[in-house]
Amino acid sequence: MAKAPALVTFRGANLGYEGAVVLQQVDLEIQPGDLIAIAGPNGSGKTTLFRTLLGFLPVLSGALNRNCALSEFGYVPQSSSLDANFPITAREVVEMGGYGRVKCYQGFPAGEKKRLDNVLNQVGLSHLAPRSFFSLSGGQRQRMLIARALMVGPKILILDEPLAGVDPESQKAIGDLLLKLNRDEGIAVFFSSHDLRMVRSVTSKVLRVDGGRVGWEEGPVADHPW
């Protein structure tokens, strides 16, 4: 049986901002059904890799191929990057994931509402949907953002530090959720963290980013102070 084409492929890519290279010679393939973590200290280039992958930044040199549309990427930003003064309910945040399919003259269609209820059930937070998004705890906000990404109907989930700033219980809940989505739904998951021990508890496929280079993590956890 032929192997499915990779969802994303980097070949000898240099990544960075306006000519300043942050990551050099990145070679990476993400296959359907992969569960990959990328770990490294703050400022090592994890977010740069994500932003390039999602098309927010151009590749400085080398190649980047995507085998799915950008609208099929479920992106989960850090909840702290969102404006906490925005008057918005959790339900409205999750609804945003469906905006790409709704025409401007339509209300929010019944099919989308059903999908919304489903993804809220998947993350186990239906009861919090009417509450103000920013009144939720860090872990709850993160799960709501995962629900928003699921609302897109993604082939791949990209999560920027989903485990940062949340309590251990929420970290476990989020980790379990990612595993479940990967195993049960077959969604490829690519997430970042600066906590390698925690990352190991979720997946064994770990990319290490440090010193401008990206490579598969093979050494013992204790080797890395971060």
Partner 1 sequence: MVSFFEILSPSFLLFPALLGSAILAFVCPLVGAHLMLRHRVFLGLTLPQVAACGVAFTFWISHAVGLSHGTGGERLLAMVGSLVFTLVGMGLLAYLDRHATGSPESRLAAAYAFASALTILFVVFNPAGELEILNLLKGEVISLSKDELKLLAIVYGVVYIGLVLFRREFLLNSFDRDLSFLLTGGGVQWSFWLYVLCGFSIAIGVIMAGPLLVFGFMVLPPLAARALARGMSSFLTMSSLIGLFIAIFGFYLSVRLDLPLGPTDVAFGCVMIFAIYAIQLVVRKSRGATALLAGLIILGVGCAVQKAQAPLDMQALGQNPVWLVSVRNSSGADLRLPDNNPLRSLVEMAGKISSDYRPTVMDLLRGALKRELQQRSVSVSFPEERDARFQSAPVDAQTASAMARAANLSGWLLLCEIRRWHTDGRSPLRTWVEMRLVRIDSGVISWQTQIQKTTPLVGAVRLDEVSADATKEILREAFGS
- Rule CB under 8 A: choose which of 125, 144, 150, 152 binds partner 1: 152
Q: How many CA atoms lie within 13 A of 73 on its CB side?
A: 23
Pick the piece of the chain touching partner 1 (CB under 8 A) from 100-108, 120-128, 167-175, 185-193: 100-108
Tell me how many residues contact partner 1 (CB under 8 A): 28
The 63-92 site mask, x for binding partner 1 (CB under 8 A), equals -------xx-x-x-x----xx--xxxx-xx
- Rule CB under 8 A: choose which of 17, 56, 216, 226 binds partner 1: 56
**Alpha-carbon span 148 to 120, nearest angstrom:** 9
For residue 97, the minimal CB distance to partner 1 (Å) is 8
For residue 179, the minimal CB distance to partner 1 (Å) is 24
Pick the piece of the chain touching partner 1 (CB under 8 A) from 22-30, 93-101, 176-184, 215-223: 93-101
**Alpha-carbon span 87 to 4, nearest angstrom:** 43
Identity at 70, one-letter amino acid code:
L
Contacts of 113 (CB under 8 A, 6+ apart): none
For residue 48, the minimal CB distance to partner 1 (Å) is 14
Bridge partners of 189? 35, 157
- Rule CB under 8 A: choose which of 4, 63, 84, 96 binds partner 1: 96
Minimal CA–CA distance to 161: which of 63, 75, 72, 68? 75
CB-wise, 63 or 96, nearer to partner 1?
A: 96
191 forms part of the interface with partner 1 (CB under 8 A): no
Minimal CA–CA distance to 6: which of 74, 69, 67, 84? 67
102 forms part of the interface with partner 1 (CB under 8 A): yes
**What is the three-class DSSP state of 124?**
coil
**Alpha-carbon span 130 to 147, nearest angstrom:** 14
CB-wise, 152 or 202, nearer to partner 1?
A: 152
132 forms part of the interface with partner 1 (CB under 8 A): yes
216 forms part of the interface with partner 1 (CB under 8 A): no
Burial class (CB in 10 A: 0-12, 13-18, 19+), 20: exposed
CB-wise, 131 or 172, nearer to partner 1?
A: 131
CB-wise, 97 or 139, nearer to partner 1?
A: 97
**Alpha-carbon span 97 to 84, nearest angstrom:** 19
